[in-house]
Structure 1
Amino acid sequence: MPPMSRPAWLQYPASVLFVVQMYVAMAVLGLLFLPIAIARREAAVAACRAYALYVRWTAAWMVGLTSEIRGPIPQGEVLVAAKHQSFFDILVIFSVLPQPKFVMKKELLMAPFIGWYAKRLGCVAVDRGKRGKAVAQMLADIAEGRSAPGQLVIYPQGTRVAPGAELPYKTGTAAIYRETGWACVPAATNVGVFWPKRGLLRRPGVAVVEFLPEIPPGVRMSEMMARIETVIETSSNALMAEAGFPLPAPAGHQAL
């Protein structure tokens, strides 16, 4: 479905209205599902998926931001290493994975609704201030079964990265890959072109999350990290260029 057309001056107030109702809906659905979500993890997954689908739907008709998935959707026990540009890519990914859970910063456990449901989903909390100890604790949580079965989503750069910005990939992804023996599915996105890291303006367009060919178990950690960075960055840049985002010229390139 092509993005809806509206006068440019209406985009910002429409974005503000969209953001407000999005958080109101989070509170309403969070409270409505909470009693059954406490009793059953499946209900917590269903509640979060309903919210993710609702936001995708309202984004399409309120601000003209449609969203689509490309590539085979990961199944079973697998590590998903995803590009992270905004809150929206989390929702798009959650809306399609069968049993999603996330590696997330520990501070989010204290957030209303997000923290409550994250614990029930089996998300893995990381204290980013402890660095090496944080990775060790993360691996211990996974090994001891505190993380429920499903697809474990990790953001290799550790945080949201705006389109065009650069941030190194962290080795925690390779550590999980090695210790679990799972395959790794890289995922690219262009979401940040339309839904920025900060600010209220949501731009019309087609936000894409693309699941890329999986990396099988057993690849050396250094090679695995090089491969995911190459395919994620290359594919994300291609998606952003498709969306009309002006990518910087490669190093050493001079315009004629």
Structure 2
Amino acid sequence: MNAQPLAFLRTILFGLFFYGGSVPIVIVAFIILPFSQFRLQSMARGWGGYHYLCARYILGIRVRIEGDIPEQQVLLAIKHESFFETIELLRIFNRPAVVAKKELSRIPLWSQIARTYGMIFIDRDGGAAALRKLMGEVRHFVGQGRSIVIYPEGGSIPPGEQPALQAGFAGLYKLAKLPVVPIALNSGTVYPRRGFVKYAGVVTYKIGDFIPAGLGREEIEARVHTAINVLNGPERKLST
């Protein structure tokens, strides 16, 4: 069997196992929602682990982490190429709060669980009121000692593209008063953001050096932009 039909078959099996197995996880998470945020966070990490197992043994996707996973509270600035890392970060990092686009808040049931876990839904067109709400939620989770995840380019980016950082990143960096750990990755080559078929291969996370809090806007944006794009370039091609 050549690569494309095999990848298609693997993708079908992955969908059956991962999404089918996720349904009871979401149901149980909704049941415990009013009782224990800690258990919900543990379930989220377990869900991330389940996704990893499905990706590893059905899709043939391996994960390589270069650098040290931060143990202290930080602002995690992550390159975003696909759905893959949005679940992986629950497994890799210690209960991070995650800044996400507001469209995800419209998913019934799941959005309630996500909010309780620590998802911060951002409305980029919401004006001053939305900004105040975002600031309040960030302060809340920073006060709990949790790291904050942000995709500073604003959304999922096709492999090889390096857009400027969104304006809100520098504001959140200033508000959080946390050191930044930039993370580059290349998930889009095997787990495309829009394409259906997923491919066997290696997803690399390159964890950059700590960047201190308190830098000026131009410097922090330049350093983060460079660091999250070290695995990206126009020569990258989608695996087939």
TM-score, structure 1 as length reference: 0.84
Q: Does 1:212 align with 2:195?
A: no
Paired residue for 1:224? Answer: 220
Contact 2:75–2:149 (8 Å) recurs in 1: yes
Please identify, of 144-153 and 184-193, the stretch whose mean Cα deviation from structure 2 is larger. Answer: 144-153
Paired residue for 1:85? Answer: 81
Shift of 1:99: 1.8
Paired residue for 2:198? Answer: 202
C-alpha RMSD over aligned residues: 2.3
Paired residue for 1:254? Answer: none
Distance 2:22 2:143 in 1: 24
Amino acid at match of 1:236: L
Contact 1:81–1:153 (8 Å) recurs in 2: yes
Segments of structure 1 that go 5 or more residues without pairing to the other structure are 1-5, 248-256
Shift of 1:19: 2.0
Paired residue for 2:121? Answer: 125
Distance 1:146 1:92 in 2: 21
Q: 1:43 aligns with which of 25, 39, 43?
A: 39
Segments of structure 2 that go 5 or more residues without pairing to the other structure are none
Secondary structure of 2:32's match? helix
Q: Does 1:24 align with 2:27?
A: no
Q: Does 1:152 align with 2:120?
A: no
Q: 2:102 aligns with which of 69, 94, 106?
A: 106
Contact 1:194–1:203 (8 Å) recurs in 2: yes
Paired residue for 1:180? Answer: 176
Number of equivalenced pairs: 237
Shift of 1:25: 1.8
Distance 1:168 1:19 in 2: 33
1:209-256 Cα offsets, whole Å, 9 max, x none, are 2221110112112100111001111x2227x97xxx349xxxxxxxxx
Distance 1:114 1:206 in 2: 29
TM-score, structure 2 as length reference: 0.89
1:100-143 Cα offsets, whole Å, 9 max, x none, are 11001122122145312211112211112236654443123223
Distance 1:72 1:154 in 2: 19
Contact 1:77–1:150 (8 Å) recurs in 2: yes
Secondary structure of 1:58's match? helix
Paired residue for 2:63? Answer: 67
Q: Does 1:236 align with 2:237?
A: no
Distance 1:212 1:114, change over 3 A: farther
Contact 2:59–2:199 (8 Å) recurs in 1: yes
